[in-house]
Amino acid sequence: MTADRAIELTKATLSVFGVTNWIVRVEPFVEQPKHYGLTSHRRRTIFLNNIYLDDDAEMAETICHECTHVFAPGVPCEPFDDKAVVADFAAKFKIVERAFERVRK
Ligand SMILES: [Zn+2]
């Protein structure tokens, strides 16, 4: 996906849950090149690693993961590796994706 689409999709996901005041940035991760995404509550920003943009499935999962961090400040990543939790985000993400497709048409 493009950087613009990743940003729009992330913002669309947050807005479904009433969050509209976060910044989303797609950029190279210089200090942690292998990380897919990062959520900073202090900066109210989700960062997405631009080297993974070509992989739509990974990007979608990363967007779900980082958005979940927004709603769970201070909670580490591990609970989000739980299969049930991931399935729950995936279901929510599909709703967002469908809404997003409708908006694009
Ligand atoms: Zn995480």
E strand or H helix at 48: strand 45-49
Give the chain's domain count.
1
> How far is residue 56's CA from residue 62's CA, in Å, rounded to a whole number?
10
> What average pLDDT does the chain have?
82
Q: What is the CATH number of the domain that holds 25?
A: 3.30.2010.10
User: What pLDDT score does 7 carry?
Assistant: 95
Q: Separation of 105 CA from ligand 1 center, angstroms?
A: 32
Most confident region among 4-13, 70-79, 96-105 by mean pLDDT? 4-13
Q: Separation of 38 CA from ligand 1 center, angstroms?
A: 7
User: What pLDDT score does 26 carry?
Assistant: 98
Q: Separation of 17 CA from ligand 1 center, angstroms?
A: 19
Nearest to 61 by CA among 22, 94, 98: 94
Mean pLDDT, range 59-87, rounded to an integer: 75
Q: Separation of 24 CA from ligand 1 center, angstroms?
A: 15
Q: Separation of 13 CA from ligand 1 center, angstroms?
A: 16
- The position carrying tokens 């929510």 is 92
Its domain, for residue 39, covers: 3-104
